[in-house]
Amino acid sequence: MTRLIVAAGGGGDAVAAAMLHAALYGAEDQAVILTYAWDRLLVDPVPGPRGTDNFTGLKPLTSTVRAVPAEARPIAPAGSTLPRLAAELPHTIALIDPHHGVEGITHQLEELVEHLAPESIDLLDVGGDILARGDEPTLKSPLADAVTLAACCQVNATIRLLVAGPGLDGELPLDDLRSVLGPLVHTFTTKEVEPIGSVLEWHPSEATGMLAATARGIRGTCEMRDAGLPVPLTDEGPTVHEVDLDEALNRNQLARAILTTATLDEAEAHSREICGYSEIDYERNKAAWLKDQPPAQLVPETVLSELDQFEAEAQLRGVTHTTFRRITEALNLNGSLREDLRQLLINSRPEQYDAPLWRITTTPE
């Protein structure tokens, strides 16, 4: 028996898909997790998502869908977390290749459904930005979710849209999502985080990290991304809600506009028109800026001193936790140093590690 889970926004949603599968369906069945290779600039210095041409060692599942096994490798200079995910998760990781637009992904999905005859199909989004209209001032990365939503809405199969951790991606406030969220499907527990606990030790996803943290009982306000977005960690953090797929499409102006796109460039042009920007343009600009920056060195004494200053300012903002991506960028360190930074901080101040988040210390009285 096989279940198909489509990770709406990429890597972090794929990790959450493994947690969802274990919680809802148990450990007996295997899932095929269809996901982007889109790791942003922390892992992949090349802007935008990777396609099949950017890997070696992929394995055919259908004529247009390739599995990413543990031995697959991204072709330099590209990077990807998918081979390591494939090595550590008990599921088949399949690659969404968006370069033929929504039409291409729709065809990929149709082939997978025919090939697998899955017991169920879930479209999973952590955070809820798949429900964006497109004009929200806090929206930062609508394209990936809109593309997968548009494709899923055109497949002749029953697909259930699930939103986990509403509001945890820092894109749409929870209050904006409440009216759209449907029935509560599940609330994750500490025990259900265990299967992906080791993955979260290295995977850079902030939203899925906060999903796991709230499932473990962590509460407060977490600062994320380079912009330092404050995200509330509440009792609603570990919840999973079903959302009507057609209602999501009716809300999502970008998804409706790109239903018949045949290239990613075409979909991106619609994003600029409807949302006023493209997240790939943002990555292009940031990648160009990073290329001109001198290589940063991880000097422990300097890092810990700068961390003290960052934490003092964060406390004034009411922040209780932050992500290692946020710390990396706040200290102006290259994304490639994130793991080294994480090890340094955990080894130096283990009492502040609220896995997988970093707890801001409380200033002594």
Kindly report, residue by residue over 204-249, the tens digit of the pLDDT: 999 999 999 999 999 999 999 888 999 999 999 999 999 999 999 9
Q: Note whether 229 and 152 are same-domain residues.
A: yes
Position 362 confidence tier, pLDDT thresholds 50, 70, 90: low
What pTM did the predictor assign?
A: 0.96
Q: Note whether 246 and 119 are same-domain residues.
A: yes
Q: Write down the residue that tokens 């499409």 correspond to.
A: 249
Query: Helix/strand/coil (H, E, C) string of the chain?
Result: CEEEEEECCCHHHHHHHHHHHHHHHCCCCEEEEEEEECCHHHHCCCCCCECHHHEECCEECCCCCEECCCCCEECCCCCCCHHHHHHHCCCEEEEECHHHHHHHHHHHHHHHHHHHCCCCEEEEEECCHHHCCCCCCCCCCCHHHHHHHHHHCCCCCCCEEEEECCCCCCCCCHHHHCCCCCCEEEECCHHHHHHHHHHHCCCCCHHHHHHHHHHCCCCEEEEECCCCEEEEECCCCCEEEEECHHHHHHHCHHHHHCCCCCCHHHHHHHHHHHHCCCHHHHHHHHHHHHHCCCCCCCCHHHHHHHHHHHHHHHHHCCCCEECHHHHHHHCCCCHHHHHHHHHHHHHHCHHHEECCEEECCCCCC
Q: Which of 231, 257, 283 is the last residue of a domain?
A: 257
pLDDT at 278 over 50: yes
Nearest Cα neighbor of 257 from 338, 346, 142 is: 142
pLDDT of amino acid 364: 42
Domain presence at residue 292: no
Domain presence at residue 262: no
Position 365 confidence tier, pLDDT thresholds 50, 70, 90: very low
Residues of the chain with pLDDT > 90, as a percent, come to: 89
pLDDT (average), residues 265-279: 97
Q: Note whether 232 and 171 are same-domain residues.
A: yes
Domain presence at residue 286: no
Q: Note whether 233 and 325 are same-domain residues.
A: no
Q: Which domain holds residue 313?
A: 300-359
Mean pLDDT of the chain: 95
The answer to whether 161 and 7 are in contact (CB under 8 A) is no
Q: Which of 206, 233, 257 is the last residue of a domain?
A: 257
Domain presence at residue 80: yes
Q: Note whether 20 and 116 are same-domain residues.
A: yes
What would the pLDDT profile of 31-44 be if each residue is shown by its tens digit?
999 999 999 888 89
Domain presence at residue 294: no
What would the pLDDT profile of 24-79 be if each residue is shown by its tens digit?
999 777 899 999 999 988 889 999 999 999 999 999 999 999 999 999 999 999 99
d(CA 227, CA 141) in angstroms, rounded, equals: 13
d(CA 82, CA 50) in angstroms, rounded, equals: 11
- Residues 6+ away with beta carbon under 8 Å from 27: 90, 195
Q: Note whether 251 and 310 are same-domain residues.
A: no
Domain presence at residue 266: no
Q: Note whether 67 and 187 are same-domain residues.
A: yes
What would the pLDDT profile of 155-175 be if each residue is shown by its tens digit?
999 999 999 999 999 999 999
Domain presence at residue 317: yes
Q: Which of 222, 257, 292 is the last residue of a domain?
A: 257
Q: Note whether 241 and 346 are same-domain residues.
A: no
Number of domains comprising the chain: 2
Q: Write down the residue that tokens 């992929």 correspond to.
A: 58
Position 295 confidence tier, pLDDT thresholds 50, 70, 90: confident
Q: Note whether 325 and 251 are same-domain residues.
A: no
Domain presence at residue 364: no
Nearest Cα neighbor of 122 from 37, 239, 13 is: 13
Q: Note whether 80 and 167 are same-domain residues.
A: yes
Q: Note whether 62 and 163 are same-domain residues.
A: yes
pLDDT of amino acid 29: 79
Q: Note whether 19 and 148 are same-domain residues.
A: yes
